[in-house]
Amino acid sequence: MTDTAAQPRHIPDRLHGSLHRTLRSWEALLLLVAVAIFILNSFASPYFLNAWNLSDATFNFTEKAMIAFAMALLIISGEIDLSVASTIALTSTAMGLALQYGAGTPELVVVGLTVGLLCGAFNAVFVTILGLPSIVVTIGTMSLFRGISYIILGDGAFRGYPDSFSWFGQGYVWWVITVEMVLFAIIAIIYGILLHKTNFGRAVYAIGNNSTGALFSGIRVQRVKFMLFLLTGLMSGVAAICLTSRLGSTRPSIAQGMELEVVTMVVLGGVNILGGSGSIPGVVIAAFVMGLVTFGLGLLNVPGIVMSIFIGLLLIGVIAIPRIVAMIANKRSRP
């Protein structure tokens, strides 16, 4: 992106007026929901308030949230990546193959990050250079990447990762504070600064609001989108490292269905699915809300399929409710 990308001052990094108040109220509502869920869970299960159980609860959202931060920027720009879970599968499979050839922990990390970036670049080429719709491209690569994993592994699995590798997904920095939780916090801060405090973030908002206008204002739209797909692939690689490390094995079914939860987390956080608005703090709060819900349901022995149904209904509700409210408001405003 050239220096001219800094010129579109009319697209602020913070929303003003009524939009800003709406965003703040949405985040405040999410925070209240998180507190309410926390209180309900504490009454529903006597095991919930245990410090170590709460620490385990963070595994329900940290890996997904790492991807959600990059996905938030991508959706704000008007694009989407539905192949993130399959990218995790392919990345984990690549790390497993490297393990078979004697790779140690540093090499496994490099392989994970590299394959994630390559998957992101693969999507970016078709979307930004060939001009294909991102939803179509990433549905295709969602099947492609996981299909490659199934071809390599079949019904098998890669095991025997070194003990040092398990530190990423099973290690603790201090007491009950996990390595993944620290990574989650660091990545949240980085993406918060990137979106809300930099010219790159302003360009993302500008593209999502009016791609043609952003192009004429000097923003290299396709370059910015290319970088956003790279970031999404990179975060999928980071999540693959953490998830593979936590599970201690690689299967082609790893992270199955995670793309739905990532998109739900982003939209629940207040990011407009059509692009142009959203914030990282909202995604952070949404991550905690979803983590608390799934952990609470797990303590109550609710089946996984019921959780999947809940996530699907939550995604539909978050998208539909604002539209329904707007329709009702428009009808009331008519004479």
Tell me the pLDDT tens digit for each residue of 263-276: 999 999 989 999 99
pLDDT of residue 326: 72
pLDDT of residue 335: 63
Nearest Cα residue to 61 out of 184, 245, 186? 184
pLDDT of residue 234: 97
pLDDT of residue 49: 86
Give pLDDT < 50 ranges for the chain: 1-12, 14-16, 19, 22-23
Sign, CA torsion 263/269/275/279: negative
Strand partners, 178: 172
pLDDT digits (tens, 9 = 90+) for 323-333: 787 788 777 77
- Our measurement of the distance from residue 284's CA atom to the centroid of its chain's CA atoms, rounded to an integer in Å, reads 10
pLDDT of residue 317: 80
pLDDT of residue 23: 47
Nearest Cα residue to 289 out of 21, 16, 5, 35? 35
Return the number of other C-beta atoms located less than 10 Å from residue 151's C-beta: 10
Top-tier CATH class for 3-330: mainly alpha
